[in-house]
Structure 1
Amino acid sequence: MNKAKDASQPNASQSDAKSDLQVYFRLLSYLKVYWKAGILVLIGFAINAATEVSIAQLIKYIIDAINTADQSAKNLFPVLVIFLFFCRGLGSFLGNYFSAVISRNLVFTLRQQIFDKLLKLPTAYYLNNSSGHITAKIIYNVEQVTAASTESLKTIVRDGLTVILLLGYLFYMNWRLSLTILIIAPLIALVIRKAAKRMRRLSTQLQNSMGDVSHVVQEAVNGYSVVKSFGGQEYEKQRFHRYSFENLKKGLKLVVVVSINTPLVQLFMAIAMSIVIWIALRPQIIGDTSAGEFVAYITAAGLLSKPVKALTDINEKIQRGLAATKSIFDVIDQADEPNLGQFKPPMSGQIQFNQVGVTYPDGTKALDQINLHIESGETIALVGRSGAGKSTLVNTLLRYQTHQEGQLIVDGHEIEDIELNYLRHHIAMVNQQVILFDRTVRENIAYGELADATEEQIIAASKAAYAHDFIMELPKGYDTNLGANGLNLSGGQRQRLAIARAMLKNAPILILDEATSALDNQSEHYIQQALDQAMQGRTTIVIAHRLSTIENADRIVVMDHGQIIEVGNHQELLDKQGEYAKLYQRQFHLDDEP
């Protein structure tokens, strides 16, 4: 049994290595478009590497010239030194600047791709992943990707060329002596390989912990009112401390691996250098050499230490970047929200649920054999206790959730056959939880596909939603910036802006999910009039809120445990003395009390 397990390990290791190479080459494919800048990077770092060898050769000439009487050669050395460092600076500038150009463009491109993908992902992705982890991918992880691409390539090109040229120079000077340096290569490779696995694992854990930290911060900031009103400051402080401390531990563990890896490689280099110096000091072994040649050889060998150290350190950057790259490609490779529909039929709002069933991934039956026919222009109210399936039913109509059983037909076509954006274009929705953006009032009402609406249309929608008067009282009227989620407005004002947005859309299907729950009695009276007007000639689905809307609905659908248990108008259901009557007495009767 153990043998079988052991035999499988090399295969897993090879598979991981293959996967890493695939991820790395895929990442590098993003750099192809910047090949012109890449050539300049190569030229710049080639010049920079050549100056390293030139330093050793210049020292040789200087020492040999000291023993000669050639004053003209001595006068040339200051000019050569200035020229050498000018070339070195030029090469360094070209390499660093154009590698930064590639790096920042890569970050820009990846962020654009991830954000574009996030806009196309199905609702399930957002339910299964916290906003903090999603945010960390697009902000933190993308920055880490540059470590595996441009930063690592920059080091590999610059320091790799330096090592190659210095080794070439050393072998040119004395190939037998130079073989000693190569003895340590297998030991360095072994250390790097062992460290790489550990670095990768810790880098992944570090990025995940960063997502946890981001998630806690977002929850505390978005829910600051609850935190303050319920005295949750100490709890949130402890929670942030716990995740931050976990992030600290992962970071320090990564530092330990890196800090041990580099000195070990340098130790092996020092051993090789010691052997080289020991041999070099024995003329009977290496033969007769001038003082200049000896010093130049030792100088070149000593110059190897810095680029070798840099090439060793790049291992940590590559592993950190690859871990981030995998997490980013996991998002990019997610399947888009299904949109295979081709039909764009005239939409009047006729809806049929035929034996529709929805089952959540955990096996929960959210909707069970729903049969409901809604005529065009009809107002349907959905009532029932929490978890009855009201929101799920609405979400299937918007295709936020997919039904696994039965048929959902809209205006004679199965909903999957209707083009998704076209379908949603013809549905307006007002939620209980109003979403406003950090933009002006005008931009919040005329949002997205409504951005081309005229000033007259925006004002008309605002007046219909009884929002125009309070908007004009704002500092800049319709040009007032609302700030984060419009929290400077009251709940009723925010709700009326959402209703104005829905009215401006002027869709044939209107969905109201607790649309007046945040309004005071006076505002609710006006808004109800506006909603009554908005519902005229539209198919309206109302998830139960205040009694007035329930009473005026053409039909009331009572749901429980994902099933429809009663259907009728207000009076019919009261006369039945069934579940609706109980709900009415328990929940709605209070609205009649003074």
Structure 2
Amino acid sequence: MSPGVSADGWRIYRRLLGYAGRYWYLLLAAAIGMVVEAAAAGAFTLLMRPMVDEAFVARNPEVRLALPLSVLGLFIIRGLATFATDYGMARAGRSVVRDLREALLLKYLRLPSARFDAEPVPALVSRLNYDTEQVSQASAEALKVIITDTLTIAILIAVMLSQSVRVTLAMIVVVPLIVAISGYVSRRYRRINLGIQDGVAQMAQSAEQTLAAQQEVKVYGGQAEEASRYSALANRNLYLNIKVETTRAAASSVVQFLAALALAVILFVAGREAIKGRMTAGQFVSLMTAMMALLPSLKRITNVQSAIQRGIAASERLFSVLDAPEERDTGSRPLARARGEIEFRDVRLNYPGQQRPALDGVSFIARPGTVTAVVGRSGSGKSTLVRLIPRFYEPDAGQILLDGVPLQEYRLADLRRQIALVGQKVMLFDDTVAANIAYGAQSQATPEAIRRAAEAANALEFIERLPQGFDTRIGENGALLSGGQRQRLAIARAFLKDAPILILDEATAALDSESERLVQDALAHLIPDRTTLVIAHRLSTVEHADQVLVLDQGRIVEQGTHAELLARDGLYSHLYRLQFRETEGA
């Protein structure tokens, strides 16, 4: 165990090293290289004795050629060993980083949606990028230093003992002090590095938020405020990094002072041994060479505590995600294609930290092939309701049934295959038009099927005008397309999936009149023969729904057709008249 690593830290570090176990062949090659490196360092110091005693004192001509060739051969072997060590550890370390990143991204995709509500995406990305890099340093670079330099120190001390036990024991007196300093520095590093990694995540979040809203920042004159916010986070991170470097520099200086103290002790005791005839000049030079070779190893072992503790702190953050509970998928009932009858029975849902329930006693039935519109004021629970159907969230009470079976009894992947989702905020990927339409489980769709889906979604006309047609890359989240074009690609994706349940979450709310007309026309072709749930901001778009659910503060306060609800002169009628007046005023 590295000095200063706590039992808990060692447990985390052992688990991290477990990821490197699958690359045992690389680690074995590196380990052999480390042993040879350390042995070469010891052998070189041993060569100093005959070099001085035979070549300079006894003036023996036989060693004139042998000793230089021995040194040359020794360093060739050491060079090969260093290459094996560096390559093996680097390859294993980078492989561990790759494996952790893959495991982390896969884990993110299996976490409940509530996790993404509680933690901002930049913080999640920081774990994926920054924390895994710290793990690389701890699992490869730091491990190399610990093993190589520990072996080197052990072999050099053995060499020194072979030359003079008295002198070596006098020097070893300072070793407990160096170990104590390493332990203190290690504990301090871990505390500070946890703060640094949290700070990096906060900086990433602040920067992403500012740059994503750069137009609003400019229009409302928020440049100074955002720069100040980021500057405060950057300064805190600077302060913590300076604390790390100050601790490292101070520890290194103290260790070097202790090493100088040990050197002074060696000189004193060695001088006395030489006067008494118990030490030759060659032994003294060999001892001094070993002592000078020890100093860099001692310094590196002291400094490496920072990398180890950064790695442990990063691993702790990574493992907190990897150990987090995943979406519940305990169902065993297969589902090829649902009829599409959806029933809510007294469903209640509370978000963590919220006093008022997001949904409270919601009950309704959506018959197969019908359109159910969900309307209400902002924050009334509309989006929450439809997100319970793909089980993005789990209700706290009540039941949701599909074709008379509770959702939890279906296999999660089978359930989600029954659902197509088109939202106001369309998510597209930095890929081709065709890849965005034939996404996920539909990736094997034929070009003809993709073209038919695009045509049905009124997207073919603009796709054919793109430089490479269906093979045109559209940028991050479809940055090269307009809002209406992005929405029609999302509809084409839903056409291609051909799911029996369709969820439209304010799919036309942010579109201009022309784009809305094209999207509404595409939706009119998509909706028939599916169970459709429509969250509508513009109430004029739900006039032909089979039933309208009016939500207020998480409860269904009205239910019926558009005409029935207008006749009741309740909340729906009030909202409709408000929108009608706004339209008239416009």
TM-score range, shorter chain: over 0.9
Unaligned runs of 5+ in 1: 1-15
Amino acid at match of 1:369: G
Amino acid at match of 1:121: L
What's 1:408 paired with?
A: 400
1:26-425 to structure 2, matched below 5 A, reads: 26-64=15-53, 65-283=55-273, 287-345=277-335, 346-362=337-353, 363-425=355-417
Q: Secondary structure at the match of 2:474?
A: coil
User: What is the CA-CA distance between 1:225 and the residue it aligns to?
Assistant: 3.6
Q: Closer, same or farther in 2 for the Cα pair 1:414/1:197, shift >3 Å?
A: same
CA contact under 8 A between 1:546 and 1:588: conserved in structure 2? no
Q: Deviations over 1:38-75 (max 9, x none)?
A: 22112212222122222222222222222334323212
User: What is the CA-CA distance between 1:480 and the residue it aligns to?
Assistant: 0.8
What's 2:565 paired with?
A: 573
Q: Closer, same or farther in 2 for the Cα pair 1:295/1:526, shift >3 Å?
A: closer
Q: Closer, same or farther in 2 for the Cα pair 1:436/1:229, shift >3 Å?
A: farther
Amino acid at match of 2:31: L
CA contact under 8 A between 1:466 and 1:527: conserved in structure 2? yes
Unaligned runs of 5+ in 2: none
CA distance in 1, matches of 2:85, 2:200: 32
CA distance in 1, matches of 2:219, 2:484: 20
Q: Secondary structure at the match of 1:238?
A: helix
Amino acid at match of 1:420: L
Aligned Cα RMSD in Å?
1.8
Question: What percent identity do the matched residue pairs reach?
Answer: 38
Q: Closer, same or farther in 2 for the Cα pair 1:38/1:358, shift >3 Å?
A: same
User: What is the CA-CA distance between 1:285 and the residue it aligns to?
Assistant: 7.2
CA contact under 8 A between 1:495 and 1:518: conserved in structure 2? no
CA distance in 1, matches of 2:499, 2:276: 90
User: What is the CA-CA distance between 1:420 and the residue it aligns to?
Assistant: 1.0
CA contact under 8 A between 2:484 and 2:511: conserved in structure 1? yes
Counterpart among 540, 555, 562 of residue 532 in structure 2 = 540
What's 2:456 paired with?
A: 464
Q: Deviations over 1:162-200 (max 9, x none)?
A: 101110011111112211122112212221222222110
1:551-562 to structure 2, matched below 5 A, reads: 551-562=543-554
Q: Closer, same or farther in 2 for the Cα pair 1:51/1:395, shift >3 Å?
A: same
CA distance in 2, matches of 1:34, 1:444: 36
Q: Which moved more, 1:243-252 or 1:202-211?
A: 243-252
Q: Secondary structure at the match of 1:439?
A: coil
Q: Deviations over 1:377-400 (max 9, x none)?
A: 111111110111111111111211
Q: Closer, same or farther in 2 for the Cα pair 1:478/1:379, shift >3 Å?
A: same
Amino acid at match of 1:418: Y
CA contact under 8 A between 1:356 and 1:408: conserved in structure 2? yes
Q: Which moved more, 1:97-106 or 1:144-153?
A: 144-153
Q: Secondary structure at the match of 1:282?
A: helix
Instruction: State the TM-score, normalized to the length of structure 2.
Output: 0.96
Q: Closer, same or farther in 2 for the Cα pair 1:438/1:230, shift >3 Å?
A: farther
Q: Closer, same or farther in 2 for the Cα pair 1:484/1:232, shift >3 Å?
A: farther
Q: Deviations over 1:98-119 (max 9, x none)?
A: 1111111111111111111111
Q: Deviations over 1:401-429 (max 9, x none)?
A: 11011111111110111111111111111
CA contact under 8 A between 1:428 and 1:511: conserved in structure 2? yes
CA distance in 2, matches of 1:467, 1:231: 38
Q: Which moved more, 1:92-101 or 1:339-348?
A: 339-348
Q: Which moved more, 1:467-476 or 1:260-269?
A: 260-269
Q: Secondary structure at the match of 1:376?
A: coil
Amino acid at match of 2:548: I
CA distance in 2, matches of 1:432, 1:286: 92
CA contact under 8 A between 2:256 and 2:299: conserved in structure 1? yes
CA contact under 8 A between 1:547 and 1:591: conserved in structure 2? no
CA distance in 1, matches of 2:35, 2:285: 24
What's 1:488 paired with?
A: 480
Amino acid at match of 2:11: Q
Q: Which moved more, 1:121-130 or 1:275-284?
A: 275-284
CA contact under 8 A between 1:51 and 1:88: conserved in structure 2? yes
CA distance in 2, matches of 1:206, 1:145: 14
Q: Which moved more, 1:85-94 or 1:475-484?
A: 85-94
Q: Closer, same or farther in 2 for the Cα pair 1:493/1:425, shift >3 Å?
A: same
CA distance in 2, matches of 1:69, 1:304: 29
CA contact under 8 A between 2:487 and 2:519: conserved in structure 1? no
Instruction: State the TM-score, normalized to the length of structure 1.
Output: 0.94
CA distance in 2, matches of 1:200, 1:285: 49
